[in-house]
Chain A
Amino acid sequence: MSISLIKSSFNIYVSGFGCCKQEIIASVGPVYDISRFGISIASYPEDADVLIIQGFLNRKYIKRLFEIYGAMKNPKWIVAYGRCAIENAFFESDDDLIKTFKEKINFDIYVPGCPPRPEAFIYAMLRLMEKT
């Protein structure tokens, strides 16, 4: 009897752009194939369960990020992917904004690296599944 790898399914919404996104797209490809674990990429925040925050975020994008997070339905989780998101290296010296960002958004999982490898992303998503 074959056992399914899928414990539950996640729709992820990847915000931003940058080197990290290249690796997330690679994890969707046939070599890593994240969909075998029941994880697929959503095009709209309304369809998503997990928000991936990564890449370069300027002031305007952080404001949009709040809108994206607001549009997602509960329950929802947030993953900080890569150095830029983890260290608040948003390339904007706006301390107030970073403070508001930290208050409003609590990360569930951190994936360190610059950029993290696709295996790290898959591992983080599986850990998130276990956590939920």
Chain B
Amino acid sequence: MTNEELKFNIEKHPINHAEDIEKEIDILFGNKIGAIYNFGKELLFDVSPDNLSEVLNILRNNPDLEFNVLAYIKKKPEKNLLLIGLLSYDKGITINIRVKNIIAERRIDYKSIIDSVKKYFKNAQYYSDRQYLKDTNRDAVILSQLPETLDTFDIYLSFEDNIINQAYLSNEISMFNQDILFKNSDINKIIAKINILSYKAAVFPELCFCLGIENLLSLKIPKRATYIRMLLCELFRISSHLSFIANTSLIIGNQNALNYTLTEKEKILNIIEIITGSRVIPNFIRIGGVKKDIDDSIIKMILKSLPGIFKNIRKIEDLFSSDIVILGKLKEIAYLNIKDARSFGLTGPNLRASGFRYDLRKDAGYLLYKDFSFTIPLGRYGDNLDRVIIRFKEIYQALKIINEIAKILPIGPVAKMMDHSAIVFEESPIISSVECPDGIFKLYIEIKPGSEIEIIPIGPVSNNMHACEQSLEGCNFDNLLTTISSFCIESPEMY
């Protein structure tokens, strides 16, 4: 890089590190915000509802900060709490704002806060009350379950001459309260229960939780344990993507692709079962390592089965990219350009299909992904076909990582020897995030007096649903199901 290029880069992005941003925020806001917590690529601080508008304005418009994407809004009325996430794709950093009243008895007015967020971020509209859309979009109502596999939401549509004017996806049917799930659970029980929050790739919530707690305790994890974690993550990534491809095949009506995909998925699930003892819910990650070691015979079996799986998945991809019927149902439908994809705060394959590179495995450098050579696949047009093909490409990269891990798995312990009951946690909030197959999965964890733990999961579902709704506008009614399926909205939403 020449000096001029270097100078240009420095001038363009003067602040790129979380520590620098932390200092800048501290100088800019002073007493208006609470203490700033730094978790690598995640920052967290408290703001009172009165100061929120000013803070958002500065974070959005200050040229040194430019946090111009609303990543999420999470309401917790029973806890009198609101979480707002602002993302800067260029810096790869997320600012998490915890809106809390100084006087605990004073209730937060969610409606007025969301109205003030709407002034700076258009996609905040999604988080306001949208029940009226049920009445305005009554030309067609498709209840969940009726089309196979689209089972977590109802679809309300208004259309004219077969062209969709407006779509509303209501996920009331799949929303459940996670507080009941974690009721009376200690830390070990939480690991056993948390995995259902992302049931298609159940290892990721476990990993996210354990990474958060390890970050709090400043634990160093044995290298072998980290490699085994990565191995499992990539196996679950493949399984989840194959599940997505199977669903798409089912909706398109291609029985060949469906059967081939389910066969390959079984092979991956078989490997997962040999390692963890369970096909779907692993309950394998522990604080300080993993539950048990992998034998050399399992490693040999994985290395032996990978070429066959790769070859067969390549065949399925050929089917998708050459079959005229499949192409007709996917190609050049429901475009999403980079600008729109970024404005919805998308992450994961749906963002990368539009051609924008953002992957926590490379950008945040969690676990030891930096030890491996792999590329982040990108799409070109951001249409339905790109959203499917990119998942095939991610499967190949995951197979490549698994192959490397299996070859260089170091010898050593797989868990830090520690007495969990003797751990004393300091009272602190934690934000932990991992790159799930569908996008970024985050956990807000709060340690309360008496080591009571409160968890708020923040998944990619809301952003994917919002982007899907917007993509459907102007779409032909015939392409409705394939478009919705291509956004992979299958996880439940928690409140």
Contacts and interface: CB of A to CB of B under 8 A. Distances in A.
Interface of A: 15-19, 21-23, 25-26, 28-31, 41, 43-44, 56, 58, 60-61, 64, 68, 91-93, 114-115, 117
A125 to B, nearest CB: 18
Q: Is the interface of A mostly helix, strand, loop or mixed?
A: loop
Contacts of A22: 199-200, 243, 280
Interface stretch (B84-92, B174-182, B227-235, B362-370): B174-182
Interface in B393-410: none
Nearest to B283: A114
A21 B250 CA distance: 15
Given A58-B175, A115-B280, A115-B281, A26 B266 contact: yes
Given A19-B281, A26-B265, A92 B177 contact: yes
Contact of B176 (A92, A114, A117): A92
A38 B421 CA distance: 52
Contacts of A61: 173-174
Contacts of B246: 25, 29
Interface stretch (B41-49, B143-151, B324-332, B429-437): B143-151
B193 to A, nearest CB: 10
B66 to A, nearest CB: 38
Contacts of B172: 60
11 contacts: A15-B145, A19-B196, A19-B199, A22-B200, A23-B280, A26-B265, A30-B259, A31-B263, A58-B176, A61-B173, A92-B176
B151 A19 contact: no
A43 B152 contact: no
Given A17-B152, A43-B147, A92-B180, 5 more contacts: A17-B492, A19-B199, A22-B200, A25-B262, A58-B173
B262 A31 contact: yes
Contacts of B361: none
Residue of B145, B152, B178, B279 with most chain A CB atoms under a 10 A cut-off: B145
Contacts of A64: 143, 173
Contact of A23 (B176, B180, B279): B279
B176 A29 contact: no
Contacts of B133: none
